[in-house]
Amino acid sequence: MAAVDVRSMVIVGGGLNGLATLFHGLRLGATRPLLLERFQVGHDRASSHGPSRIARSTYPHVGYVRLMRATFAEEWPRLERAAEEPLLFRSSGVFFGPPNGPIDAYAKAVADAGVEVDRLDLRTARAMFPMLRFGECDFALHDRTAALIASARVLRALERVSRAGGAEIQSGTRVLAIDPTHDPIRIETDRGEIFAERVVVTAGPWMSELAPALAPRLFVARQNLAYFELEGSREEFRVGRFPVFARIGAGENDFYYGLPEFDHPGVKVARHVTTARDDDPETPSGTFDEDALEDLRAFAIREFVPAVRGLAGADTCMYTCTATEDFVLAPHPANPRLVFGSACSGHAFKFGPMIGRILAELALWGDCRLPEYQALRTEFSWVGPPSPADCAFQPRGVV
């Protein structure tokens, strides 16, 4: 009988977090790690595609502010060194919202963590960011750590560096089931069986299929985003001139954000929609909600000083949310060599290189001693507080 090939490490899902785990798995000594991806790296049906994302320290929860500080200090530079290209483009960040709303929690958390975020009065904010109106606000937070992440370039860099380091990426392979009770762990795919010493599952919107026990904690919410051409010279809207920003209101899903023009025509605008819903990730991408696009246009007209000339593009993208907007980064309770990473809720790209490190350390070393992870470990656990029943109805909203 032929000997069974047992892989040292298998990662399921080739979005940002799976690729970042592969990168760190190699760095930590996994030999010939294998990543299985149902489609191909960079496809547009999950959460990681598109040209740009926001990185910022401005969070309402001090634990995330500190996790971001560590990610900025250690992991983005490590990845940029390995990739030999810039992936973060420094860009002023400005975050604002109506008085006595959630923006106050952001102001408190950044002050508690002592990060480089300044509180600006409205006159100063309007002088520094003349593109924005800051309607109904008393103050704005100027985040001097903020950046635009060249997200599509990040995926390509992780793929390139990992392959060069000896990792194998197998596209067009769908994992159907994982048996944590089998030793080595048995992975059933649509192209046959694979055995592995360690497995990390980063399946994005399909996570509940592979981890039914997580299903009560996760829901999938399709997002719509738009790119608008604004009146004026395009130079004004490029990274370094135009800020990354968010307007954080008090109502349901009242969180809109935007980014400069980058690797795609037009300024990007989107709304962060995290009410519990159950969108089907099998619905093809590009199925736009026309009402959502109209809502984004109305926001752009209301908040931008330059007139909106027209739509330069639109896209859809999936969030995989927990009701508290915390991540799940945790070993399976019955087998610590099987680790799950659902780091989305629409805000994990900025942490991606750190999430990869945490997941790789959990899988390969059995723990991650990073203090910033340890501080958030309860929130990141398999079931996690509050209970799933509470989660469904009492969003805490770390974003």
Q: Which is nearer to ligand FAD, 198 or 347 (CB)?
A: 347
Residue 106 as a binder of ligand FAD (CB under 6 A): the answer is no
Shortest distance in whole angstroms from residue 160 CB to ligand FAD: 17
Residue 245 as a binder of ligand FAD (CB under 6 A): the answer is no
Residues ≥6 apart with Cβ < 8 Å to 123: none
Residue 304 as a binder of ligand FAD (CB under 6 A): the answer is no
- Residue from 72, 45, 73, 58 nearest 149 by CA: 72
- Residue from 259, 249, 271, 266 nearest 319 by CA: 271
Look up tokens 């793929």; give the residue: 159
Shortest distance in whole angstroms from residue 225 CB to ligand FAD: 5
CA 176 to chain centre: 24
Shortest distance in whole angstroms from residue 13 CB to ligand FAD: 3
Reading the block at residue 95, the tokens are 């975050």
Cα–Cα distances in angstroms (integers) from residue 142 to residues 212, 248, 308, 343, in the given order: 41, 14, 24, 26
Collapsing DSSP to helix, strand or coil, 105 comes out as helix
Q: Which of 7, 9, 11, 15 binds ligand FAD (CB under 6 A)?
A: 15
Q: Which of 8, 27, 28, 39 binds ligand FAD (CB under 6 A)?
A: 39
Cα–Cα distances in angstroms (integers) from residue 214 to residues 50, 75, 167, 299, in the given order: 27, 28, 28, 35
Q: Which is nearer to ligand FAD, 103 or 155 (CB)?
A: 155
- Residue from 61, 126, 55, 62 nearest 96 by CA: 126
Q: Which is nearer to ligand FAD, 152 or 318 (CB)?
A: 318
Q: Which is nearer to ligand FAD, 126 or 174 (CB)?
A: 174
Residue 273 as a binder of ligand FAD (CB under 6 A): the answer is no
Q: Which is nearer to ligand FAD, 41 or 391 (CB)?
A: 41
Q: Which of 10, 11, 14, 110 binds ligand FAD (CB under 6 A)?
A: 14
**Contacts with ligand FAD in 195-224 (CB under 6 A)?**
202-206, 210, 223
Question: Rounded CA gap, 393 and 323, in Å?
Answer: 8
Residue 260 as a binder of ligand FAD (CB under 6 A): the answer is no
Give residues in contact with ligand FAD (CB under 6 A): 12-18, 36-39, 46-48, 53-54, 174-175, 202-206, 210, 223, 225, 270, 317-319, 343-344, 346-350
